[in-house]
Structure 1
Amino acid sequence: MKRVTLKDVAARAGVSFSTVSRALNDRPEISAQTKAQVNAACKELGYIPNIAARGLVRRETRTIGLLVPDISNDYFAGVALAVEETARENGYRVLVCSSLRDPVRESEALDGLLSQQVDGVILAPVSVTSARQLEQMLQSVPHIYLGNNHSDTCSYVVVDNKRGAYEATRYLLCLGHRNILFLGGHTDSLTRQYRVRGFRKAMEETADTKAQELVECNSAQQTDRMIEHLLREKDLPDAIFAYSDRIALRVLQAADECGIAIPDQLSLMGFDNISYADLPRINLTTVSQHKGRIGHTAVLRLLAQIGGSTEQTVDVLKPELMIRGTCRARSVR
């Protein structure tokens, strides 16, 4: 089968070869009617533009890089889906890389994306420390950060983690809980620091409370052992506020193995609202970050930068408390 060329498209559209080229490159001097004629001819003939070649001419690849700590994590998978969909709607492809929470692998992944000549990058650094190194690599590249791990001069999209944690803790306090443990997250994560600030603020505003905090261990196995040890203690907290739904699910599993009924003996709060948090057997009370809005907003802000905008943008999205079945009033027990 003969390969369709620009000359074939020009003949079908009834315009010159150069007009077809300029129409496909969305040049402003070409009218909307002519562009529509050319696009219709392309569709009729089955012509697929050579994006790579056009990118060389225009010095762009119509490609966005997305770098996240763990693409298997439900939160980042949800954000990635929204990024890909919004990018596609705007004529861009997305290259996705996962650092597996390793700073060395993270910088290597970013280097790989930049070597692919991506037009811009959306990234969620492992920590504040690694963000500083990545920022040096991105000095001449449009980029948007996801979350709190970044410098103050960068553009970013984030959920108000402090507010979300504050409202979640207030809800637990209103249920009569006074001994509350904040569990999980790593000490070098600024996201954790904001959530802890919200937790502490709510606890400090209420009299006769006992606030406890435990960070995650270096491995999932160690974290599981820590949770099991915690649940086998004689003096259980009234409630556990997990840094993430992932940690909350580990608490649910460990509680079941230890014979502790949630919420009858222990209330449990998560953070993220992962896709299966509302399943009947889980029914986790949690804080929603609205993953779709985060990904959508990040792409639109990045495209503005790619288009020439130099304005720093800060989008702080409002979280939402999702009240389900893992929390109960203390007096009911």
Structure 2
Amino acid sequence: MRATIKDIAKRVGVSSSLVSLYLNNRPLAARIAESTKRKIDAAVKELNYAPSATARALRKGKSKTLGLVVADLCSDYSSFFAQTLLDECSRYGYQLLIGITHYDPEEEKRVLANLIARQTDGIFYALRLFPADFLKSLNLQNYPILQLSSAAPEFQSMELAREEALKQCAGKLYEYGCRKVVVAHESWANILEKELEAYGIKIVGGRYATTSDDFPYLNDTPPDAVASDSSIYARLLRARCRELGIPMPYLCYSYSLPSDFIDDPRVIAVTVSDYKTRLSGIVSRMIRMLENPKEPVAHLKEPVRLMSLDELREYRCAQLKDPYYEPFRIRIKYEGN
């Protein structure tokens, strides 16, 4: 078992409060006899005592831990995000506690409540926040939560500014003669719907698809193009088209990491956010929130660019030369991607 101040006091034959005074270098420790100090030092060494960083931090009103709420850690993006976020938090002296929801709304509530109970100093929230009544029950009005994929007005957020890139994407779809388009995710549908309508392009196959392994719109008359905020969805779509022996529709999708690359001539355009810059910005924003708790709530947006397949190929090569993305370079080298 881990040694405590009480164990040291018992070994030396003094009170726990006196040992605490000495080990925490309190002003009154100057009155402690030198012989007693030496005995305490010896007991600390013999018992291999180490002070609790958590206890010290809590006495100062800080736990030096941050929380992350995510759906899973199975994809390349989510696992690399957790790893790099942990590393970046460590640079600021913070540990990271990760709560996984498995796409279960009830589990998401439990994860959030658990991170609050563990007195994390702040939480990175990569999902959609719950309705106000649930949040109020946790008394989170002044809690440092940084939203990464939503913008509930009462909490800080750092979303991606997709609007301009998707407006350009709509123009590209029109240039390629696309008149029937499937928009595969709600985050894009909310923006693209109006932009496509301006070009006379119709959204088909439902407003957006909700699963990544079912493509019912391919069974009838396939659309001219598919727009998806997911490289995983896009890759599965290409595989399904090959199974059916039909040409893949033109494709627009989003890219962040080297594993997102799809080398296919049917790719019209790709929205790109700079992962490394975003990750660093997320953590520095959280630290600013913790250091300036009275700053007003702000909903910031980070830039997203639209690239052609050739531009994306060059961008990806630059990423793979950066040691930051070393895990992908090694894997791609041996997998031949």
> Normalized against structure 2, the TM-score is what?
0.68
The aligned counterpart of 2:254 is 271
1:205 shift after superposition? 2.5
The aligned counterpart of 1:197 is 190
The aligned counterpart of 1:75 is 77
Q: Which amino acid aligns with 2:298?
A: T
The aligned counterpart of 1:321 is 306
Runs of 5+ unmatched residues, structure 1: 4-16, 23-46, 186-191, 326-333
Deviations, residues 212-243 of structure 1 (Å, cap 9, x unaligned): 244334xx5xx534x0x32232x322111124
Q: Which amino acid aligns with 1:144?
A: L
| Matched ranges for 1:5-16 at <5 A | none
SS of match in other structure, 2:203: strand
The aligned counterpart of 1:94 is 96
1:224 to 213, 221, 236: 213
SS of match in other structure, 1:158: strand
Output the CA distance in 1 between the equivalents of 2:234 and 2:118. Answer: 38
SS of match in other structure, 1:271: strand
The aligned counterpart of 2:183 is 182
The aligned counterpart of 2:272 is 288
> Normalized against structure 1, the TM-score is what?
0.69
In the alignment, is the contact (CA less than 8 A) between 1:288 and 1:320 conserved in 2? yes
1:156 shift after superposition? 0.5
> How many residues matched?
269
Report the structure number with the largest CA radius of gyration.
Answer: 2
After superposition, the CA RMSD in angstroms is 3.4
Deviations, residues 2-50 of structure 1 (Å, cap 9, x unaligned): x9xxxxxxxxxxxxx999968xxxxxxxxxxxxxxxxxxxxxxxx9764
1:267 shift after superposition? 0.7
In the alignment, is the contact (CA less than 8 A) between 1:162 and 1:197 conserved in 2? no
SS of match in other structure, 1:180: strand
In the alignment, is the contact (CA less than 8 A) between 1:166 and 1:201 conserved in 2? no
Identity between Structure 1 and Structure 2 (%): 20
SS of match in other structure, 2:259: coil
Which has the higher mean CA deviation after the structures are superposed, 298-307 or 97-106? 298-307
Cα distance change, pair 282–247 in 1 and its aligned pair in 2 (3 A): farther
Cα distance change, pair 68–136 in 1 and its aligned pair in 2 (3 A): farther
Deviations, residues 148-184 of structure 1 (Å, cap 9, x unaligned): 2x42232100001333332322222222322222124
Deviations, residues 245-296 of structure 1 (Å, cap 9, x unaligned): 222122111111111233xxx2111124444122657996532233333332
Output the CA distance in 1 between the equivalents of 2:196 and 2:292. Answer: 45
In the alignment, is the contact (CA less than 8 A) between 1:87 and 1:94 conserved in 2? yes
Output the CA distance in 2 between the equivalents of 1:269 and 1:84. Answer: 31
Output the CA distance in 1 between the equivalents of 2:67 and 2:265. Answer: 34
SS of match in other structure, 2:226: strand
Cα distance change, pair 201–20 in 1 and its aligned pair in 2 (3 A): farther
The aligned counterpart of 2:330 is none
The aligned counterpart of 2:40 is none
Query: Is the aligned partner of 1:209 residue 2:201?
Result: yes
Runs of 5+ unmatched residues, structure 2: 4-19, 26-48, 311-337
1:58 shift after superposition? 1.1
Q: Which amino acid aligns with 2:217?
A: L
The aligned counterpart of 1:309 is 293
SS of match in other structure, 1:104: helix
Deviations, residues 48-94 of structure 1 (Å, cap 9, x unaligned): 76412321321212110011222323333343334222211111111
Output the CA distance in 2 between the equivalents of 1:153 and 1:291. Answer: 26
Q: Which amino acid aligns with 1:230?
A: Y
In the alignment, is the contact (CA less than 8 A) between 2:64 and 2:94 conserved in 1? yes
Output the CA distance in 2 between the equivalents of 1:287 and 1:254. Answer: 23
Output the CA distance in 1 between the equivalents of 2:168 and 2:137. Answer: 36
1:322 shift after superposition? 3.5
Output the CA distance in 1 between the equivalents of 2:260 and 2:114. Answer: 34
